[in-house]
Every structure is written in C-alpha cells, then in structure tokens.
A and B are shown apart, each in its own frame.
Chain A
Amino acid sequence: MGDSTDQVLSPREGTAAVIDHQERVDEPLLRLHDVVKHFPVRSGARLGRHGREVVRAVDHVSLDLQRGETLGLVGETGCGKSTLGRVALRLLDLTSGSVNFDGTDLSRLSDRRLLPYRRQMQMIFQDPYGSLNGRRRVGSIIGDPFAIHGVESRSARRQSVQELMELVGLNPEHYNRFPAEFSGGQRQRIGVARALALHPKLIVCDEPVSALDVSIQAQIVNLLAGLQREFGLTYLFISHDLSVVRHLCDRIAVMYLGQIVEIGPVSEVAVNPRHPYTAALLSAVPVPDPDAAARATPVVLTGDLPSPIDPPTGCRFHPRCPRAQDLCRVEAPALQIRLGPDAAHLAACHFPLANGERLDGAQGPSSDRATALLVESLRQSAQALVGDLDAAPQLPADLASEVLSPDGQGAEPPDAESVVPLPGEPEPAPARKVQMRSPWSLAFQRLRHDRASIVSAGVILSIVLFAILAPVIASLTGHGVLEQFPTIGLTPDGLPKGPSATFLLGTDDLGRDLLVRLAYGAQISLMVGVLATALTVFVGAIVGLISGYFSGLVDTVFARVMDVMLAIPFLLFAISLASVVSVTPLHFGPVTIGPGISIVVIVIGIFSWATVARIVRGQVIAIRNREFVEAARALGARSWRIILFDVLPNVMPTIIVYTTLLIPVSIVSEAALSYLGVGVQPPTADWGQMIAEAQGYYQQAWWFLTFPSAALILTTLAFNILGDGIRDAIDPRGTDFRG
C-alpha cells in the first residue's frame, strides 16, 4: 500500500527531516509531529517537593499513517504505545507537538470542534469485557454512535445496527441481549461494530486480540483485515504480539520507553531488524518448530525497563544494550535511514545491526541460513496462529462476511460462555431462560426466592396500609387523633388506661386512643423516612457523580466539603438546627420552614448526603477509568451523556441498596429528633414523641411505651431485612456496600 511514501521525522530535534522518495500521491491520513505526552506524578505529599516529576509516556514521536495502510505499533508493556494511540485520537491532550488528521490540526481543538472528526476516527479496545457497558443492551451500545451524532432517526437506527451486527458476524436477532450473554470473541465483534458505525477513516486498535484465545484471535484479525479491504480503512494496530502484527500490518514501528526506535516495512523489520532492541524482541517470539527453536537462541536482555520518570541519558536503551558504547551514553541517536534495500526502514541506533547480523555480536556461521530459518519459523508461528483461516485476507469482500458469519464460528462455542453463572441461586434456571434477561430482572428473580425479603415486603406493605387507613381507623373507633377522653380514657388518678374493648391498645397520658395515634404516627415515620432518604440520595448521588467524574478542582472542593460534613457531630447539629428553626421559622420567599416534617426532612438530608456522595464518588472514580467510558468519549459523547448513560447505570445498584438501607436510618433519626423534642411538635402524633411521653409513665402504663416501640422496631427491622435481601440479590457475592 502506501509504504513507498513514508515520511519520518527525527525524534529529538524535531526538525522537518522529511524524506520524500516518490512524488506524493496524497497527504498521509494521520501525521503525528514531535508528539510529547507527559503525565504528572502524584506523590503522597502534594505540596512542594523538588519540582514536578512527570512520566514521559510519549517523548518526541513523529509518525505518518498513509491512507489504507496498517501500521503495527509494538513494544513492551509501559512503553507508551497505548498512550500514543490515545493521543492520536485526542482522547488525551498533548503536552506538545501536533496531531494532523486528514489535513486538520486536531491538537488544539476544543471538544466541541473535535466532534465532527470523532466520526472519522474510532478505537477498538483491548478488553472485550471492560469496553462494553454491561448494563446496556447490545443494540443500544452499537447504536450509541448514531445517537451521539444524531445521524439516524430512531426507527432507522435499529435497521443500521442490525446491518452492522451482520457485517461483523453477529446474529442480528441478538439485538436485545446484554454483553454478559456473549463470549469474549463475540464481544470484541460488538466493539468492532460500534467502531464501524459511522464509517470512520481511521481506527486505532489497542491490543484488540490480546485478551482472546488464539483461535478467536485469528477470527478477529481476519475480520479486521476483511473490513479494511471492504471500507478502505486505515489501522493503527497496537500490539505486543509480533506474530499478529506481522500477519496483519504493512509496516511496523517499535517503541521503547516512549520513543520509536525502529520503523519500516514488515518484511524488512521482521526479517532484518537493525535496532538491537527489535532484534531482542523478535528473538523472543516463540517458534513452533523445535529444530528451528533450538538454533534460534533468544537474546535475553539484562536489567529491567528503566523508569519513564527518569529515563537514561543518551540512547534510552543503552543500559540494557549488548552493543552499547560510550557514545550511546551521551548522545541520543536520531531515527535515521540505515543501510538496506528499503529506504523507508529506519532505526534510532548509533551502531545498528548489519543486514542479517545477529544480536549476540558473533556472526552466525551461515547468517543467511539462520535468517532464513528465523523467517521460516516466524511464518510458521503466524500460520499456526491464524490457523486454516489464514487464507481469509485473500477472500473477496463479500465472501469474507460469509466465512465470518455466525455459523462459521465453529471454534467458539457460543453458549458455553454466554450463560451467566449465578452463585448463590438455589436452583439455576435453565440456560434458555437466563438469556435475554437484564441484570435487573436477574436480581428481581433472586429476590423473589428470598423468603425473608418477601415477608418483610409484606410487613412494610401492611404498615403502609395502616398509615393510609389511619382516618378509617379513627372513624371506625370513633376516636379522633387529637381527641382526649378525660373520663373514659384515663383512670380516676389521671393515668393512661390499659387495652380494652373501647381502646384496643389503651390510651396515652392525655386519654387519647393509642391505636389511632399509632396509625397517624406511621404516616409521619414513613413520609419522613421516604422523603429524607430521597433528598439524601438525590443530593448525594449528584454530588458523588459530578465529583467522581470530573476530577480536579471540582472534585477537590467537593471532597473537602464531604470531609467536613462527615466530621460534624450529626446529632448535635441536627438538634441545634431543628431547635433554632422550631423557635423562629426560616422564610425562603413564599416557603416557610418551621417546626414539623419539612425541617426534619431537611436536617436529615443536610447531614447524611455526604455519606452517599462519598460512596458514589468512590464507585464513579473506579468506573470513570473503565474502557467503556473511554469508548463513549472516543465516540464524542458529552460528559453529561456519559454520566447519565454509562456511569449512572453502573452506580445504580449501589444507590438502590443504599436507598433501601437509608430509609430505616431516616425513620430512626426522625424518631430520635422527635424524642428529644426538636422534631415533629405536639400535638401531632409521632412515634418518637410518644415514646418520650411514655417514658414518664413506664411504671404505670407499659402499653404506652411498648406499642410505639414495637411499631418503630418492626418498621426498621422490615426495611433492614428487605435492604439486605436487595443487596444480596443485586450483588450475590455479598460485598458490603457500606464498606
């Protein structure tokens, strides 16, 4: 393809050492010029310390990518290849340098201006499990690009998504399934479909097959090759697997410690490596032929990969290089043309290997033969890798999709992996039934089998009914909630009367019917419990989402506020606030917050949102770095969309569990405030208040104390059991959400 017009710039000086061998056919699709990406190091002490340390993830890299070619970017873990791929897509901001895509400099564009370009460049991720949002259906995941860019109407979207699914070899009928119902290879196909949706020109493949089984690797590699021919795609193929790269790529660029050390056509680099590092890498590729393997002794490099915070002087490879000399320690070599038949083959080395020379310095007795063996073994390893599907790249485009159709997935049993294991479920439902179920319906199914939860739900329902029917109970007994019965409701000494036919649960100190007051008290408890929890969770979740998603200043401020809120002695403050307001109501325009339910709800909300916010924030921070969030950003999704569609559904289980467990806490808090006399004010019926009043009569009237206490305990107990049940159902592993 376009490897005859390679243009490579020397890394250090950054001068435009452009080497033009033939007339330019056209501009390269992607041109990275002197790209630098440094990450600041966060050490424990943020203040001071000797300057700022940075990780030099990518250090002065220049690279051109021609239209329709596949450039393999190889190197060890941590060499900066993934960072370079993300910089190329502007998923990361550049420290310096420029990214030129199809004639436009993207390096300084704002997110909004970048949006049109996001359609033209896409990414396929390494982890087929992390790169798909497990809480969204496949159709919605693949349709995301359409939704974000608003290119298809809702009705047309389904059609397009199913076409895409067919194109990548998925069964379009699985449109409504969840990612968990697919195997690793199938999930990777979903990722490919998503990347293809908007017909991009460039796709950065970040180790797209390294998480897959070898046989499935071959399928995906062939799929990518087929799609490239069909759509004229350009790939930047990041991998640490030289065999895959050799099979798929036109050119190879080898990275070491943030820099490109060698670049050239695959046939050159893989056969005649010039840089000692490349040679060492190649010698480590396993050779399937035992005879050849015995002859091709791998070069084992000494020493560890140096720290990218403080890279070695001169040539970065010199501490580990068997050929290093004094010059290497002082002067960094530029990426320059070296001898060789192909002028596009460059290496950054002062003392590169000669054609066919082996790294150990000693020339093999018959170097040509050794090279031939090496080439042969590489070819064999590549063939073993891709198996009998090796011929696929030669297939015509329309045949490729047939080969890769769902029926052709012989090597990949579709059902074995797609059934979700359900630990903790008493009797696993048949596999057929489990499929097509969302995580929510699975959780609901588990909950239905939990007897304690069902009973608690029944108890809660009864209490709710009791509260709702309070006026009915009052009219049936003929006793109003505030009505005092000094003659029939009190003993001659003026003490409460015990349970009787007239007063089923007895009377209180003012001769009022305890049953009626309990029913009205239930209204207050439930209302405050639900409202205060809703307020707490609402505020806490929003703050947690925002604080966790946007790191930096916003997060720092919110985190500090949370610290302060958590260090505040809750009850003291709640009492203070409630007591102040109970003396002088606050006026906010038309809204008056006086003693009563509203102040109790607000006080509880003010002092408990921070707990929820802290937990949500922790979860969001973990989710923020998952690949599916990065995938959404690569598609050009705005922050609010990512928070709403990708982050929130994954935090939802925590929020729901927390909500259920917070309701009893809020109910108890309300009762405690009223018990202390700063909550709901008399004569309103309230459980906490009744207990406080009953405390003066416990020697004479046990019922007065016992019934409100029992009602309170029963309510909180039921909510707690149900909350535990929901937690177990949502997360069967039994992780404690309160942690």
Chain B
Amino acid sequence: MIRFLARRIALGVLVMWCVTLVVFLIFYVGPGAGDVARALAGREAPPSTVALIARNLLLDRPWYVQYGHFLSQLLHGNLGYDYYNSESVNTIIAQAFPVTFSLIIGAAPLWLAFGILSGVYSAVRPRSLGDRTFTGVALLFYSTPTFVLGVLLILVLYYELTVHGVSIFPAPGYVPFTQSPLQWARALILPWLALALVLAAAYTRLTRSSMLDVLGEDYVRTARAKGVPERRVIFRHALRAALNPIVTQAGIDIGVLFGGAVITEQVFDLPGLGWVAVHAIQEQDLPVIIGVVVVASAGVVAANLIVDILYAVLDPRVRLH
C-alpha cells in the first residue's frame, strides 16, 4: 500500500512537472517578454521603463531561467506574483478555490445520484417507458453543451420567471458561504443544475450499459435462483460490480473540475479557478495561469489516485502494489 502510494505520488509529481513545463513553453513561444512589459508600463512609457519592468519580472532572461526561478519558488510553496497587481498567486487561488469547490460539492452528489439511479432503473426495466424516457432525456442533455444549457437556464428559470413575478432563482453571481449559507446555496442552484444535468446524462448512459452487462452474468442468475431479494440482487450483487467504469469516469470528471469548471463559471459569472484562468489567459498573466494549471493537474492526479484506491475497496480482487 505504501509502496503503491509512493509510486503513484512520484508519478503524479512527474506529470505535474511535465504540465508546468508545457505551459511555460506555450507562453514562451507566445507574445514573449516585450508585450507583457509594454502592456504593464503603459502606452506612453519610455523604453527604459519597459526594460526595467521586464528586468524586475525576469522577463528579459531566457525561459529556463524564468522556469528555474518559478520551480524554486514552487518548492517553497510560493506560486509567484501576478504581473499586473503584484498580488500573490497563492492568494488569488485561495480566493478562487472555495468558489470552484462549492460548485463541485453541490453538483457532484446531484449528478451521481441522477445518473446512477436513472441508469440502474433503465437497466433493470429495459425498454420500459421509464427507460425510454431516461435514455431519451439523457441523450438530449448529453448532446447539450454546458454553456448552452447554462445560458438557457438563466433565460428561462431566472429571467422569464422573475419577469413573471416568481423570483426563486437569483441573477448570476456568487455569495460566499461564510456570508450567508442560504444565499450561497440559492446563488449556486442554477450552476449546479447546469453542471449536473449535462454530466448526469453521461452517467445514465454509462450506468445503464454497465448494469446491463452485469445483469446478464451467471452469478446474478444464481443469486436470483437462490432467492436473494431483487433489491439486494440489484444493489449488492449487480451494482457493486457495475460501478467500476462509473468510478473511473467520476474520478476523471471531478478531477478535471478542480481545475475550474471553466465554462460554467464563465456563464454564471462565478469567480472560481476557471474564471480566474480565462481572465489570466486573456491578459497573458503567466504566473496566474501556471498557478491554476498546477492546481488543476494536482486535482486530476489526486482524483486518479483516489479512483485506484476505490477500485480496491469495490473489488476485493484488486490489490494495490
């Protein structure tokens, strides 16, 4: 177990290192030092000011010097400073992270519950009206891009309802949990729904096909033959075995979301990691971009690790080594 963890964490660190290197290279072949320094200095600034700014930010040095500087800072837990306001990237991420986390913590249970339950129902009663409804709806949401669904939800549930005097859902925006838990949840309902509906659709399809495979297994027939109650057959015998691909997918999805639900945050104007990243990318604010990418990759790596451990929990045959 410890060997396994050590190896996986080492591998994860390697992956994250590759990822930061790639981002660095992408931006190094990009607009380069002059542009950022010039943008910071302002249009009227003399060349000497631009050069000074560039030197202070190490922008005039080769990329590997900048990268080495970044790495040594990173090892001290410091992600660097924003180019424009000299704000600590740690602070920026610390402010954005709770927003993204709030989004995930509400959406994940929703989409897992929707997706798995409807998938199980569809598999247990294939070709029934319920199955057709669930698979049809799932296909529809599966085909709907998040940003389209988000925008439509805002149009119908916020705007049209509010115009007609029913103001259940608030305008896009974010309220911190510490400020008012109720307003926090209210502000997040639509983003949760948008994220959960699109993702749940994939889980319905995945659960259904996985469950159908398992329900055809001989041991399920054996369980029924020996008189195990149907509910127990479905949830204990079949679902547990059918969960593997679902757990894998959930790990990937949640891990990726930790890098910011870029689209959802953009649509609903939530200042989470994805939102921060998009704005930083537009401004070529390299330290902030890399900061978010490091967090995002860590999310993916951690999620993969948790998935592997969950395999062993779900399936006693899997041994971690």
Are A and B genuine complex partners?
A: yes
A664 to B140, CA, bound (A): 12
The chain A residue sitting closest to B15, CB to CB, is: A567
The answer to the question of B2 belonging to the interface, with a C-beta cut-off of 8 Å to chain A, is: no
Query: Across the interface, which residues of B come within 8 angstroms of A706, CB to CB?
Result: 152, 155
Is there contact, CB below 8 Å, between A583 and B209? no
Nearest B-chain residue to A563, judged by Cβ: B15
Is A569's CB under 8 angstroms from B293's CB?
A: yes
Check A407 for interface membership: any CB of B closer than 8 A.
no
How far, in Å, is B293 (CB) from chain A's closest CB? 6
In the complex, are the beta carbons of A572 and B142 less than 8 A apart? no
Once the chains are docked, how many angstroms separate the CA of A713 from the CA of B198? 12
CB-CB under 8 A from A672, the residues of chain B are 145-147, 263
Is B145 in contact with A668, judged by CB distance below 8 angstroms? yes
B89 at the interface (CB under 8 A from A): no
Question: Is B262 in contact with A676, judged by CB distance below 8 angstroms?
Answer: yes
> What is the bound-complex CA distance between A702 and B11, given in angstroms?
50
Please provide the chain A residues from 556 to 609 with a CB less than 8 Å away from any CB of chain B in the complex: 563-564, 567-573, 575-577, 579-581, 583-584, 586
Among A572, A668, A734, the most chain B Cβ lie within 10 Å of the Cβ of: A572
* Set of chain B residues within 8 Å of A691, measured between Cβ atoms: 147-148, 151
Partner among B143, B154, B259, B304 whose Cβ is within 8 Å of the Cβ of A717: B143
Q: How far is the CA of A705 from the CA of B15 in the complex (A)?
A: 40
B281 within 8 A of A: yes
Return the CB mask of B1-42 against A: 1 if under 8 Å, else 0.
001000100010001001100110011011100010000000
- Would you call A171 an interface residue if the criterion is a C-beta within 8 Å of the partner chain's C-beta atoms? no
CB atoms of B277 and A572 under 8 A apart: yes
A572 touches B263 (CB 8 A): no
CB of A699 closer than 8 Å to a CB of B:
yes
A716 CA / B148 CA spacing, docked (Å) = 12
A residues near B277, Cβ cutoff 8 Å: 572, 575
A705-B152, A709-B151, A734-B212 given as contacts; is B263 within 8 A of A675 (CB)?
A: yes
A569→B256 contact, CB < 8 A: yes
Residues of A within 8 A of B274 (CB): 571-572
Q: Is B210 an interface residue (CB 8 A)?
A: yes
B151 to A695, Cβ gap below 8 A?
yes
Find out whether the CB atom of B284 lies under 8 angstroms from the CB atom of A572.
Answer: no
Q: Residues 665-699 of chain A: 1 if any B CB is under 8 Å from the residue's CB, otherwise 0? A: 00010011001111000000000100100110011
Chain A count of residues within 8 A CB distance of the other chain: 51
Whether B289 is near chain A, meaning CB under 8 Å from some CB there, is yes
Residues of B within 8 A of A694 (CB): 151
Cβ A675 vs Cβ B147 within 8 A: yes
Contacts of B296 in A (CB 8 A): 569, 572
CB pair A571–B262 under 8 Å, yes or no, is: yes
Q: Say which residue of A573, A580, A675, A709 sits within 8 Å of B30 (CB atoms).
A: A580
Candidate in B7, B139, B143, B282 with the most chain A CB atoms within 10 angstroms: B143
A sample of 10 more A-B contacts (CB under 8 A), given A44-B321, A580-B284, is A45-B321, A572-B293, A573-B23, A575-B277, A583-B30, A584-B30, A676-B278, A699-B159, A716-B145, A734-B209
Q: Which 7 A-B pairs have the closest CB atoms?
A: A580-B30, A569-B259, A717-B143, A44-B321, A569-B296, A716-B143, A736-B209
Q: List 10 A-B contacts (CB under 8 A).
A: A567-B15, A567-B304, A573-B22, A584-B30, A584-B31, A672-B146, A678-B281, A713-B140, A720-B142, A734-B212
Q: Which residues of A contact B (CB under 8 A)?
A: 44-45, 563-564, 567-573, 575-577, 579-581, 583-584, 586, 664, 668, 671-672, 675-678, 688, 691, 694-695, 698-699, 702, 705-706, 709, 712-713, 716-717, 719-721, 724, 734-736, 738-739
Interface residues of B (CB under 8 A from A): 3, 7, 11, 15, 18-19, 22-23, 26-27, 29-31, 35, 139-140, 142-148, 151-152, 154-155, 159, 205-206, 209-210, 212-213, 245, 256, 259-260, 262-263, 266-267, 274, 277-278, 281-282, 284, 289, 292-293, 296-297, 299-301, 304, 319, 321
